[in-house]
Structure 1
Amino acid sequence: MEPYVKQTIENQVGYIEFFHPAHNSLPSNILAELARTIKNAGEDSNIKVIVLKSGGDRTFCAGASFEELISIEDDETGKEFFSGFANVINAMRKCPKFIIGRVQGKTVGGGVGLASATDYCMATKFAAIKLSELNVGIGPFVVGPAVQRKLGLSAMSQIAIDANSFFDAEWARQKGLYTQLFETTEELDEGVKTFAENLCSYNPKAMTEMKTMFWRGTEDWDQLLIQRAKISGRLVLSEFTKETLKRFK
């Protein structure tokens, strides 16, 4: 199947779904489309609540596109590459509507950042998480603020330093990333649908004010996440990282 970002509306809930055949890894063009779609959904009067989900059954998001990562050859390209997730996280942060995460399986790197940037996240018991960036010679600099905001510094540093390990869904629930865990994807979908449609019965203005309150203190993220993207862009050009990427390739 071809990569895509698509949106559907059902009972005032906007479902935004992304997909890539490489375990839902996200290249720059898909990230840009995802950021645009989230922004537009936030402005659509037909939508009261947004659900962020991915296609397929096994993996929510494998992070950034490895093929693009290994092709970076200069600072500017590196900054633009790592800005992709920054732009999506900022679109989610500034969206005036609650975004519910629907995480059906494992999520890695930038995918953990997307899950962390949702306002309320529900998952299956298979939704283990991993921040693998240090393993390839960089670090979770762009997604770090979102992950730290959701899990706390202690938990974020734990998964960032132990970059080889998956942390299971129950661990992520205990740390605050997930609110509920379900046995199957079908049960997850029913839970997300029921919860999202119930939210649609609430005052939209009240939900917008609540979201502004929840995200207070992140007003500098437009600049901060791009600064972080520059750090990753420099590191990916280092000899250490280049040699590591060659081995992975």
Structure 2
Amino acid sequence: MLNDLFPNVDWELMWEATRETIYMTTVSTALTFIIGLLLGILLFLTSPTQLWANKLVNLLTGSLVNIFRSIPFIILVILLIPFTKFMLGSIRGANAALPALIIGAAPFYARMVLIALREIDKGVIEAARSMGAKTWTIIWKVLIPESLPALISGITVTAVALVGYTAMAGVIGAGGLGNLAFMDGFQRSRNDVTFVATVLVLVIVFIIQIIGDFITSKTDKR
């Protein structure tokens, strides 16, 4: 039945491309969460009146985040080709897409982390400080727990964006559904291949959004 509807689709290749897209999205989302969280916390704590208030560190970190957040992803992929080749020895395949995915998404998520932390009631932080809590205790016991729903919501949005990034990376040979849709679908005028790849990308996005919304609702105690 499927072969009749989509005569040009090689289902083995399609499932392999789907696995590559899921792999790229999962790994890059996990590393983006860690790096973005660290950058966001650093931006928050080094801002004026905060525990690590430091104008220079805040300015440098903020500038770094803004620069990489502003570069269009497809241009970032091209700029990072020498770095990717040096690190991984190749610019093709799912692993080769990871540096660009992480560097492109982490600054975006860092800004979302900063916004989430700024929404925390200052009284809660001051209360922890007045009781003699150390900085790392405040981070783990106050900042992260209080902002957790927003952090999860933010990484959900970022993960959805990363699915789109994997599709763009696929255009230059990074593998995944984007690569299959472009190389085997668009360039060979096989519209059914492009259509199926697009549907599978949408399914992945919907699943990520559903999981993210569920976790967010479970962690929101308001």
Q: Structure 2 length as normaliser, TM-score?
A: 0.29
Of structures 1 and 2, the larger Rg is shown by 2
Name the structure, 1 or 2, with higher relative contact order (CA <8 Å, separation 6+): 2
- Higher strand content, 1 or 2: 1
Q: Structure 1 length as normaliser, TM-score?
A: 0.27
